[in-house]
Structure 1
């Protein structure tokens, strides 16, 4: 009887984690959609990120060190890898 309880508990935990993962995935997709919409609005308004506040990133790009520039951008802004790559691509 005790082993059955352990299996039931494990199954409930797995189901809970699966539900949480699903919610997190939906939230990530919603945030990405909002970010894309915001980027479109900023582009439409002609608002660009000012690379002047990121001189190290700009210098690394000029030296052809794109990966280091992405890393520096992430450290300076707290952006995730994709956001930093996209921003550095726009700067370059």
Structure 2
């Protein structure tokens, strides 16, 4: 429901600091750290929170995601491109 998409690749031992890509649907993506507790506290509307996609799989390294998401101007667009590349080999 919400505009934001986060692709987390690493959770620090503190149990809260995530590393990955953040896309707040503003035609740009940012790589860095963000807080798991802050994500869990977000209300995206209708009293719903952020949802984890348990079916998400990729073989592409985060560096590829960063490059393609930057060019495609978003994680959702990068996901379509990378999925197609992974299917085609």
**TM over 0.5, yes or no?**
no
**TM-score (normalised: structure 2):** 0.26
**TM-score (normalised: structure 1):** 0.25
Bigger relative contact order (CA 8 A; separation at least 6):
2
Relative to its length, the structure with more helix (as a share) is: 1
Relative to its length, the structure with more strand (as a share) is: 2
